[in-house]
Amino acid sequence: MSAFTVLNASGQRVCSASPRSVQGGGALEPQLRLSAGVYIIELCLNNQRYRETFCIGSFEENAARLLERTASLRITENPDVLAISRRLAALSIPKKSQDRSWEVKAVHALEELDALLEASSSAGRRQLPAGLHFLGLKSRIDESLQCYRLYVPEQREARKQIPLVVFLPTVASAARPFIESAFVAAHQEAEKISAFAERDGAAVLWVGYHSQPSGAKIDLVHLDEVLQDVAKRVEIDISRIVLIGSCSGGALGTLAIAEWPQRFAGLAFLDPVFVLEKTPSDSGRAYFADQALFTEWLSDTDSSRFVQLLRDTPILMIYDGAQPGHGSLKIAEGFTRLARQAGARVEFLNLPQPLAQHMDAWRRTVDWSVRQRRTTVIEAPKKSSDERECVMDALSSPFLLVEGTSGTDIDRAATQSVVRSFESAWRELTFGSCRIRKDIEITEEETRQFNLVLVGNEKTNCLISRYASGLFSGNTITVSGRKWSSPQLTVQVCIENPFVSQRRIVVLGAIDMVNYNAPIHSLLVDGWFTSAVWTGDPGQAELVEVTAPEI
């Protein structure tokens, strides 16, 4: 058997060297020159196989070649291609910043895209090979690209389901798109964690995020979307999915168990915190500061209030010396005490200060996770007794932003301005755009599939008179039986779709769209309310009344 073998990205042998030539200082078939591209070198030594990926040619040259091939194959809109293309773009940095760590990441990204292109001709979705992968999906919420990272173990039996270890994001590391985040930058850490999982034949998922986590409904919707996408690619044992939360990821893990008390086999914490600060904009804080409902909502941040719902889920709590911003020993011990009082099985470990990247804690966490199994799995979320939803909840489900097209040129321009403000705020918060339709384009099927965000009034948006009948009447706005009259009124309201009970209608409108004056556009973080009525001139808005669901 050859001591060295060089393979291309599709696994085909390119060249090799015999043990004798290696011992004598020989080269890999020196007469063969490798062209630019990505290759894998394998070494078989003492019945052990070692492999390393390398590339011939510059990063820029290889990236350009692969992206050109992507265009020729007409798969540029494939979510996986988009994800790895964005990863390549994020790695295109000045050469002075390129070190050995950068080279490893760059070669990995090139290898991933090369392998994806090699598999593109096969029918259906590709079967993921072993290794670390950057993957993408189109979100049902807004059709934006959502990226995540997945490790698929090499040691897995055919047709056998495997356990899944899920790493949740933290707030501090999620200020940029996931593909540009600290999670992805920590490639060496991901490789080491993957090596721990490989020993037990487990997959590892870094779930990413739709927007910076704040404990909002969209955080859990994103987690569910990614888990469903992973299940389409890899045979996952749904009775052996464990969530891992470090720092503020601990709060997200607690919220996930509260949403799905019978879905996950376990929950592991590392130096956790359980308070997720709400993230309203400066405008939101300014306009709602004196509202008791807002203050109550803003202060409702401690996820440990759901500890009773964790009683049926095994818990591992590890404290290994808190870094700045991470949870203290007091927090870890306090939560452990509460969970045990609620009847939960908690294993608590107080480890010595880590020497490198919590590796001992991660090893213990992965080892613990693969041993957990839930007897009965219920994937559906628990039902809420309060059917009312706030605006931001409606935006955490699939929605269409619907622009009214009727009225005068001035009316239409005013409506378009509101649409642009919403879309701009959405892009800033989620790093992507949302679906925008004109009112005359909406089909009956879409009204059943999506929540509708209707911009305009009964004169400028033809859907408002049907789905929000009675909201506008002359100079009067009526919400839940309450009436206000003035030509300067503006309303932002979430109501039930009168024809599809599981869907919601959000109206962003005004008596006269030219006078639309709501100062709140970042509704994904500011839409804590069910309705808000405004008055005053544009740029000088005054809040008339706000209502919200009970907490």
- pLDDT tier at 147 (50, 70, 90 boundaries)? very high
Where are the chain's structural domains?
A: 4-57, 58-124, 127-369, 391-547
pLDDT tens track for 510-538: 999 999 999 989 999 999 999 999 998 87
**454 SS3 class:** strand
Highest mean pLDDT, choosing among 39-48, 76-85, 297-306, 486-495: 486-495
Residues 6+ apart with CB under 8 A from 420: none
Antiparallel, parallel or unpaired: β 482-485 and 476-479: antiparallel
Q: Give 161: exposed, middle or buried? Use CB within 10 Å, 0-12, 13-18, 19+.
A: middle
Q: Pick the residue with more confidence: 149 or 537?
A: 149
Residue 494 has pLDDT above 90, yes or no: yes
* Cβ count within 10 A of residue 296: 13
Q: How far apart are CA 222 and CA 60, in angstroms?
A: 33
One-letter amino acid for residue 179 of the chain? I
DSSP state of 119: T
pLDDT tens track for 286-327: 999 999 999 999 988 888 889 999 999 999 999 998 677 789
What is the pTM for the complete model shown? 0.91
Per the CB < 8 A criterion, the answer to whether 370 and 200 are in contact is: yes
Per the CB < 8 A criterion, the answer to whether 336 and 257 are in contact is: no
Output the six-digit token pair for 515. Answer: 């006078």
Residue 384 has pLDDT above 60, yes or no: no
Q: Which residue has the tokens 């009775």?
A: 239
Residue 344 has pLDDT above 50, yes or no: yes
- pLDDT tier at 39 (50, 70, 90 boundaries)? confident
Residue 369 has pLDDT above 60, yes or no: yes
pLDDT on residue 74: 77
Q: Pick the residue with more confidence: 156 or 488?
A: 488
Superfamily grouping for domain 127-369 = Alpha/Beta hydrolase fold, catalytic domain (3.40.50.1820)
Residues 6+ apart with CB under 8 A from 20: 26
pLDDT on residue 121: 57
CATH of domain 391-547: 3.30.379
| Sheet architecture: strand order including 542-547 | 436-438, 399-403, 451-455, 504-510, 490-496, 531-535, 542-547
Residue 541 has pLDDT above 70, yes or no: yes
Residues 6+ apart with CB under 8 A from 330: none
CA-nearest of 91, 247, 66 to 168 is 247
One-letter amino acid for residue 221 of the chain? V
- pLDDT tier at 75 (50, 70, 90 boundaries)? confident
